[in-house]
């Protein structure tokens, strides 16, 4: 049932980082991690006659959740309680009040793509479509963020993620291709990429498949295990931001000869030809 708007909330004062502000003027940065990827933890609190029931239990859970996500800064609980008091006072509220407390990782800084990537295989699995269908290109990125934290802690660039059957889904942010049966001298080989089961439909992925068809390079969409990855001649990731980025190491194993492969290079060049000449003119 759709909730009805409560007129008493018309002039709500909200608290953003200690600033009390009318609900119509309140805003957070579009670069905030909560906006970018749902990268936030929260509690729903309830005020009864001036008292918040189980407040410390809620703050404990908030802190535990933030620690699990490796948030760099978790505000002191005295500070949180002080801000809750200020907000409730500013709203002249006392009873029958729902309070929504949200803590985000903060404003995200863009990371620039590189090639010659080092990956680890994450312990975090990608959910199957019956849990959360990756065909919805949604903004709830926590599953991938947990894998990325694992990669950061292992000094790797990104994490390879498997689905719940143990097959390759993609990395935390890009699709994965491998090259098998390669003939370096002719920059030819067979390509394989995972099926769209636990990864979104990729536009760069589709472009690579399109290039392969045009160049008569065999490319299959299939179930790949980490063993397929370990014994590949080449490996690369695809995404709009990083285009085609070679992977040279995974789980401390060198892929192929540990350099950007000839087929990866060839496909990157063919991709660059397309980006240099195609697209919808906007400026
Ligand atoms: C989870 C995930 N994987 C892969 C990609 C790469 O897809 P595309 O080639 O369409 O940029 C994206 C892009 O947003 C993504 O969110």
Q: Which domain holds residue 12?
A: 7-104
Compute the distance between CA of residue 149 and CA of residue 161 in angstroms, rounded to an integer: 13
Q: Which residue has the tokens 């001649």?
A: 233
Do 41 and 11 lie in one domain? The reply is: yes
**pLDDT attached to residue 111:** 74
DSSP string, 235-258: EEEEETTTEEEEEEEETTEE-TTS
Do 132 and 266 lie in one domain? The reply is: yes
For ligand 1, the distance from its centroid to the CA atom of residue 125, given in whole angstroms, is 17
Do 135 and 98 lie in one domain? The reply is: no
**pLDDT attached to residue 229:** 98
CB of 37 within 6 A of ligand 1: the answer is: no
CB of 132 within 6 A of ligand 1: the answer is: no
For the four alpha carbons of 227, 232, 234 and 237, in that order, the dihedral sign comes to negative
Compute the distance between CA of residue 156 and CA of residue 172 in angstroms, rounded to an integer: 12
From first to last of its 283 residues, what are the pLDDT tens digits of the chain? 788 888 999 999 999 999 999 999 999 999 999 999 999 999 999 999 999 999 999 999 999 999 999 999 899 999 999 999 999 999 999 999 999 999 999 998 877 677 899 999 999 999 999 999 999 999 999 999 999 999 999 999 999 999 999 999 999 999 999 999 988 777 778 999 999 999 999 999 999 999 999 999 999 999 999 999 999 999 999 999 999 999 999 999 999 999 999 999 999 999 999 999 999 999 9
* Number of structural domains found in the chain: 2
CB of 136 within 6 A of ligand 1: the answer is: no
Which of 52, 74, 104 terminates a domain? The answer is: 104
Mutate to test the pocket of ligand 1, among 177, 200, 242 (most ligand atoms within 8 A of CB): 200
């Amino acid at each position: 049932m759709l909730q009805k708007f409560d007129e008493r909330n018309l002039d709500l004062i909200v608290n953003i980082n200690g600033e009390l502000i009318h609900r119509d003027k309140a805003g957070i940065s579009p670069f905030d991690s909560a906006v970018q990827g749902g990268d936030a933890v929260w509690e729903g609190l309830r005020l009864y006659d001036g008292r918040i029931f189980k407040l410390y239990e809620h703050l404990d859970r908030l802190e535990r959740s933030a620690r699990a996500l490796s948030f760099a800064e978790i505000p002191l609980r005295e500070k949180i309680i002080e801000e809750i008091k200020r907000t409730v006072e500013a709203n002249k509220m006392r009873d029958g009040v729902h309070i929504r407390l949200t803590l985000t990782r903060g404003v995200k800084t863009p990371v620039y793509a590189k090639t010659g990537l080092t990956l680890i295989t994450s312990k975090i699995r990608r959910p199957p479509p019956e849990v959360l269908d990756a065909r919805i290109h949604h903004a709830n990125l926590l599953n991938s963020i947990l894998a990325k934290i694992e990669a950061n802690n292992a000094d790797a660039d990104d994490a390879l993620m498997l689905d719940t059957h143990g097959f390759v889904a993609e990395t935390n942010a890009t699709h994965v291709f491998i090259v098998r049966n390669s003939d370096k001298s002719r920059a030819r080989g067979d390509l394989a990429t995972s099926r769209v089961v636990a990864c979104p439909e990729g536009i760069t992925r589709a472009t690579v498949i399109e290039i392969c068809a045009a160049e008569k390079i065999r490319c299959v969409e299939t179930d790949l295990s980490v063993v397929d990855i370990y014994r590949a001649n080449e490996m690369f990731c695809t995404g709009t931001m990083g285009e085609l980025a070679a992977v040279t190491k995974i789980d401390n194993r060198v892929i192929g000869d540990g350099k950007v492969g000839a087929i990866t290079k060839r496909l990157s060049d063919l991709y660059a030809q397309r980006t240099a000449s195609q697209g919808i003119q906007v400026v």
